[in-house]
Structure 1
Amino acid sequence: MGTSRMFRIFVVLGSAFMILLIIIYWDDVGASNLYLHIPVSPGPKVPHPPPQLRPHTTRTPSFLSDIDAFVNQFLEPGTGEPTDTMQVDLSNQSEKSEERYIPRREWKIHLTPVAAELRERQEKRRRLLQEVCANDSVVFPGKNRSFDDIPNKELDHLIVDDRHGIIYCYVPKVACSNWKRIMIVLSESLQQEGAPQRDPLAIPRDLVHNSSMHFTFNKFWKRYGKFAKHLMKVKLKKYTKFLFVRDPFVRLISAYRNKFEMRNEDFYRRFAQVMLRRYANQPTPPASVDKAFTLGVHPSFSHFIQYLLDPQTEKDMPFNEHWRQVYGLCHPCQIQYDFVGHLETVEEDAEHLLRLLRVDNVVEFPTSQRNLTASTWETNWFSKVPVEARRELYKLYEPDFRLFGYDRPESILNE
């Protein structure tokens, strides 16, 4: 009896020891390393038989599903809820779908290396970020805090794709709609008749910006509880991280055009009415955006700049994401980005990035036919903004200019 009991004890202790070794190995070496080294886009295959005749196959577990299974064993009740990504109630989306091969339009094989010019461009942009972050003369809120000190709510712009090992920090008004479409396609978070949606442009705009379609760092706490911050650091170390930026002043013009020159009830009530009351001598602005547009009432670009410079604005609430500085959205001094794209070179950068990620045979970046805000318009847009206000605005966004290599707009600041 005693021998049997000792045997069981040894078995339990041996199992616990093996689990501990696996955990240590997983954390140090990284299961995601093994996952990321699996070819993202396998070569052509023989098509599967029709679904009703297809034999049952076992799906290869991903890093995310494995870590989920392990971590959820230790979560307290209620902390291991599934991410919202799988809870969208759509007729063309299923909660679970088998990973299946989708025939590609073409099989791309790159026999020539990426152009040296593009590699040097990325090296220069990454090096500039490091230099500015190390430069004590460049000061901005949150610059010197650690990653652990970043509030969870400020991590909601970091979208994670565990399938391909990608983290994208989206910046509104910098082609983020199309990059979100790319992330939906790659993460296969949207199903079309039981199969992953492969056409970015077929994804409706309301779904593109639906937070339930994206797994962000902010959702790690709901899924992983006290393990969340540790897993963020693991993924930041092992995944490819990228963002796209544009000239800060041009981004502000684009935000104004989109949110205040077009009918947007939400932005009218939350921001336009405030601007009209404070700066346009309209104590009782129209109650709705439709009525305001009918009367020809809306805040001017100059009013918008006044709003940004008003100390009361950020006392009331943080800047909206459409005009918040990129350093406040993507934390470039705490996160070492592997790729920094510019909207001004988006076609070249997008092709380079997708090739770098080895997904250029899976998805292509959609080309935009819309009229984009051009940098050459800056002088006209700022013509009615007082020069002193322009200089104050530059101080407010100077860290973004310097972090991402945009020249100081002398023609606007010295008129």
Structure 2
Amino acid sequence: MPSLNRRIAICPLRKYVWVRVTKAANSTVSATLWAAMGQAGDPIDNSKRSSDKVSRKSSFIRPSALTKKQVAELSNNYKKIIFVRNPYTRVLSAYLDKGRISNDLARKFSNYDGEAGTRAGFEGFCRYLANGGVYEDPHWYPQNRLCPFPSEELDFVGKMENLNSDLNRLLDWLGLPAQDLVRAGPKPTGASGRIAEFYSEESEQIIKSLYSDDFRMFGYSENLQDA
């Protein structure tokens, strides 16, 4: 299981805990939150303040920096936040990002280099996930299992599909000023517009089965056409 210490960001000043889900606009959410806190005049370290293209994920506190008493306080006194993504597009985005010919990971799920970045290559990737690979990397690890809190304890669930509106709704809820998105992280893969290009009936069934709890917990349709 990926280290939860790296997946949890804590802001004691605003008293919120953010569960960082990879391949769900993680870097952009971080950079935008940091920019809004700076605009609000929060006493952040100016030397770490985000630029328009730099994520501030490392500027939040991790659970390992807290005492046991402080960790226990998170459940009772902190707002719990998560941003998630449709499993169909999240998994495809992870493949398009990590399944390049030049990436050593691609060798685990491609029969030969010529399959990388193709429908056949994506099918191979989905079979790799079904054979246990789903738990080998946080970029495609089930989102619900990256979250240490029960769904009923989450105070705010934002979705990448509504990133701009959901993120500004979050800022308002946290008492922070409205903020334009601060884009950060790797170049977008365009996965949401490439569903038909990469998904076959086999890969659809594999993802639907492997990520059934994500679909259910975060209210996503299992119908591929809705992705």
TM-score after normalising by structure 1: 0.46
Using the alignment, how far apart are the partners of 1:163 and 1:260 within structure 2? 39
Contact 1:309/1:392 (8 A) holds in 2: yes
Identity fraction in percent: 22
Following TM superposition, by how much is the alpha carbon of 1:410 offset from its aligned partner in structure 2, in angstroms? 5.6
Using the alignment, how far apart are the partners of 1:157 and 1:410 within structure 2? 28
Following TM superposition, by how much is the alpha carbon of 1:156 offset from its aligned partner in structure 2, in angstroms? 3.1
Using the alignment, how far apart are the partners of 2:152 and 2:219 within structure 1? 18
Give the counterpart of 2:62 among 191, 208, 216: 216
Contact 1:184/1:190 (8 A) holds in 2: no
Give the counterpart letter for 1:310 in structure 2: N
Unaligned runs of 5+ in 2: none
Indicate whether 1:238 and 2:89 are aligned. no
Unaligned runs of 5+ in 1: 1-150, 283-291
Indicate whether 1:163 and 2:13 are aligned. yes
Q: How does 1:124-163 map to 2 (within 5 A)?
A: 153-163=3-13
Please name the residue that 2:108 is paired with: 274
Please list the CA deviations of residues 199-254 of structure 1 after superposition, one character each: whole Å capped at 9, or x if unmatched.
55153x5xx45x5x33222x14xx52xxx2x3223123212221111110111111
Indicate whether 1:298 and 2:112 are aligned. no
Give the counterpart letter for 1:306 in structure 2: R
Q: How does 1:183-332 map to 2 (within 5 A)?
A: 183-185=33-35, 186=37, 190-192=45-47, 197=49, 199-201=50-52, 203=54, 208=56, 211=58, 213-217=59-63, 219-220=64-65, 223-224=66-67, 228=68, 230-261=69-100, 263=102, 268-269=103-104, 271-276=105-110, 280=111, 282=112, 298=116, 300-311=121-132, 313=133, 318-332=135-149
Q: Structure 1 residues 156 and 304, CA, compared in 2 at 3 Å: closer, same or farther?
A: same
Following TM superposition, by how much is the alpha carbon of 1:262 offset from its aligned partner in structure 2, in angstroms? 7.6
Q: Structure 1 residues 408 and 355, CA, compared in 2 at 3 Å: closer, same or farther?
A: same
Q: Structure 1 residues 347 and 381, CA, compared in 2 at 3 Å: closer, same or farther?
A: same
Following TM superposition, by how much is the alpha carbon of 1:309 offset from its aligned partner in structure 2, in angstroms? 0.8
Please list the CA deviations of residues 103-141 of structure 1 after superposition, one character each: whole Å capped at 9, or x if unmatched.
xxxxxxxxxxxxxxxxxxxxxxxxxxxxxxxxxxxxxxx
Q: How many residues align?
A: 216
Please list the CA deviations of residues 304-349 of structure 1 after superposition, one character each: whole Å capped at 9, or x if unmatched.
11110114x36xxx33110001111113426711111111111111
Following TM superposition, by how much is the alpha carbon of 1:389 offset from its aligned partner in structure 2, in angstroms? 4.6
Q: Structure 1 residues 256 and 243, CA, compared in 2 at 3 Å: closer, same or farther?
A: same
Please name the residue that 1:365 is paired with: 181
Contact 1:246/1:342 (8 A) holds in 2: yes
Please name the residue that 1:38 is paired with: none
Q: Secondary structure at the match of 2:18?
A: strand
Q: Structure 1 residues 152 and 335, CA, compared in 2 at 3 Å: closer, same or farther?
A: farther
Contact 1:272/1:298 (8 A) holds in 2: yes
Q: Structure 1 residues 262 and 343, CA, compared in 2 at 3 Å: closer, same or farther?
A: farther
Contact 2:80/2:155 (8 A) holds in 1: yes
Contact 1:201/1:366 (8 A) holds in 2: yes
Please name the residue that 1:346 is paired with: 163
Contact 2:171/2:177 (8 A) holds in 1: yes
Q: Structure 1 residues 333 and 350, CA, compared in 2 at 3 Å: closer, same or farther?
A: same
Q: Structure 1 residues 410 and 201, CA, compared in 2 at 3 Å: closer, same or farther?
A: closer
Using the alignment, how far apart are the partners of 2:44 and 2:152 within structure 1? 25
Following TM superposition, by how much is the alpha carbon of 1:377 offset from its aligned partner in structure 2, in angstroms? 3.0
Give the counterpart letter for 2:108 in structure 1: V
Contact 1:253/1:373 (8 A) holds in 2: no
Q: Secondary structure at the match of 2:52?
A: helix
Q: Structure 1 residues 372 and 176, CA, compared in 2 at 3 Å: closer, same or farther?
A: same
CA-based RMSD: 3.1
Give the counterpart letter for 1:274 in structure 2: K
Q: Structure 1 residues 200 and 351, CA, compared in 2 at 3 Å: closer, same or farther?
A: farther
Please name the residue that 2:24 is paired with: 174
Please name the residue that 2:213 is paired with: 399
Contact 2:2/2:138 (8 A) holds in 1: no
Contact 2:127/2:206 (8 A) holds in 1: no
Q: Structure 1 residues 372 and 353, CA, compared in 2 at 3 Å: closer, same or farther?
A: farther
Which one has the largest radius of gyration? 1
Using the alignment, how far apart are the partners of 2:176 and 2:61 within structure 1? 19
Using the alignment, how far apart are the partners of 1:189 and 1:342 within structure 2? 27
Q: Secondary structure at the match of 1:201?
A: coil
Using the alignment, how far apart are the partners of 1:256 and 1:301 within structure 2? 7
Q: How does 1:49-68 map to 2 (within 5 A)?
A: none
